């Protein structure tokens, strides 16, 4: 009886050890899966801040040193190169890359001095990780560009990193992010949020020009008003030459499909008043000045605004194209008081 009992205890110990080992192996497997799934995500999010703004000078392309008295600027939301498709997953990476090169050719043909681009992919799986900022800068012949990341996250299968870009013929001497208030705090913590890109550009011996490339929140006029109040603090202190441009997702009260908050505030009008800017054009005059959607424009949400003390508007135009769901906006200025 004693011997049988001993064998029974030994067998029970072996069984418990086997179960314990299986649990340890299962825990290790689950831990490995968690590392594989969330490790890249944690890495990307941890590095999103330090890599948020980058300035690149292409040594193979000479920039402009002196200004001829005029400045041509462009604002264009290129929609990740998806064209007029509803989803960024539609179409292949090769199709997006070809479309981005067509966008670069349009920009090159415009012969602009400064270009602000929104929704540009830097390393994104649906675009085959093609750096659209570098590709457009090279193909369009811009020696300087700055990029600023809005959303930056990823997993084992791929990354999602995109944001705003400023292309320039003249040296970009300084660039920083405009940390617009998040629409939702938890979204910002998980993936990032829309921000702006503020660049200082030296155009010869004259006073530096500040360029603010913006992409404001599309879901709420209240969020856009909050962003404008932030910009008022950040930009109003600069009394020199200033141009604000990009996809503002807002339009004046007298324009088609304008929006207001419950308190009757309009982000576009507040931007004009609070920072002392003038919009190009002065008002919506015709359907040709509407920018979105590109195939049947019903709203003007892509804008170029400027300080009239330093710039005189010579020409404003919206380019009809289906390379994006937004049409590009072009303004040519005569410099009036740059010293």
Residue 86 has pLDDT above 60, yes or no: yes
**% of the chain beyond a pLDDT of 70:** 83
Cα–Cα distance, 52 to 197 (Å, whole number): 10
Whether 19 is in a domain gets the answer no
Whether 88 is in a domain gets the answer yes
Number of compact structural domains in the chain: 1
Predicted local distance difference test score (pLDDT) of residue 101: 98
Whether 135 is in a domain gets the answer yes
Kindly report which listed range (136-145, 148-157, 301-310) carries the lowest average pLDDT score: 148-157
Average pLDDT over every residue of 202-221? 91
Whether 41 is in a domain gets the answer no
Question: Dihedrals φ, ψ of 261, to 5°?
Answer: -80, 175
Going by pLDDT thresholds of 50, 70 and 90, the confidence category of residue 34 is low
Q: What is the Rg, in whole angstroms, of the alpha carbon atoms belonging to the chain? A: 26
Whether 29 is in a domain gets the answer no
Whether 321 is in a domain gets the answer yes
Whether 14 is in a domain gets the answer no
Can you give the residue range of the structural domain that contains 306?
48-335
Residue pLDDT, tens place only, 318-327: 999 999 999 9
Whether 28 is in a domain gets the answer no
Predicted local distance difference test score (pLDDT) of residue 19: 61
pTM for this model (two decimals): 0.87
Q: Which residues pair with 292 in a beta bridge?
A: 299
Cα–Cα distance, 212 to 138 (Å, whole number): 22
DSSP state of 141: T
| Residue 304 belongs to domain with CATH number | 3.60.10.10
Going by pLDDT thresholds of 50, 70 and 90, the confidence category of residue 44 is low
């Amino acid at each position: 009886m004693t011997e049988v009992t001993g064998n029974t205890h030994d067998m029970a110990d072996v069984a418990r050890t086997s179960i314990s080992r299986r649990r340890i192996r299962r825990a290790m497997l689950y831990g490995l899966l968690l590392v594989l799934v969330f490790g890249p995500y944690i890495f990307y999010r941890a590095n999103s801040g330090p890599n948020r703004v980058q300035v690149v000078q292409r040594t193979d392309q000479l920039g402009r040193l002196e200004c001829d008295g005029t400045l041509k600027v462009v604002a264009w939301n290129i929609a990740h190169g998806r064209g007029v498709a509803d989803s960024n997953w539609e179409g292949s990476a090769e199709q997006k890359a070809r479309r981005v090169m067509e966008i670069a050719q349009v920009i090159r043909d415009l012969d602009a001095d400064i270009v602000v681009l929104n929704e540009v992919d830097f390393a994104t799986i649906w675009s085959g990780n093609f750096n659209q900022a570098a590709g457009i800068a090279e193909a369009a012949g811009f020696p300087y560009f700055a990029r600023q990341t809005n959303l930056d996250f990823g997993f084992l299968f791929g990354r999602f990193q995109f944001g705003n870009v400023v292309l320039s013929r003249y040296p970009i001497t300084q660039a920083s992010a405009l940390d617009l208030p998040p629409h939702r705090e938890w979204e910002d913590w998980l993936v990032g949020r829309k921000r702006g890109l503020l660049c200082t550009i030296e155009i010869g011996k004259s006073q530096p020009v500040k360029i603010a490339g913006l992409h404001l929140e599309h879901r709420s006029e209240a969020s856009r008003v909050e962003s404008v109040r932030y910009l008022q603090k950040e930009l109003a202190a600069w009394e020199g030459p200033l141009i604000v441009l990009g996809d503002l997702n807002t339009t004046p009260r007298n324009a088609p499909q304008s929006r207001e908050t419950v308190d009757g505030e309009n982000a576009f009008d507040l931007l004009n008043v609070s920072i002392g800017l003038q919009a190009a054009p002065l008002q919506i005059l015709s359907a040709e000045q509407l920018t979105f959607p590109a195939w049947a424009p019903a709203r003007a949400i892509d804008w170029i605004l400027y300080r009239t003390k330093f710039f005189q508007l010579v020409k404003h135009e919206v380019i009809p194209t289906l390379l994006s769901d937004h049409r590009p906006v072009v303004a040519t200025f005569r410099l009036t008081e740059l010293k």
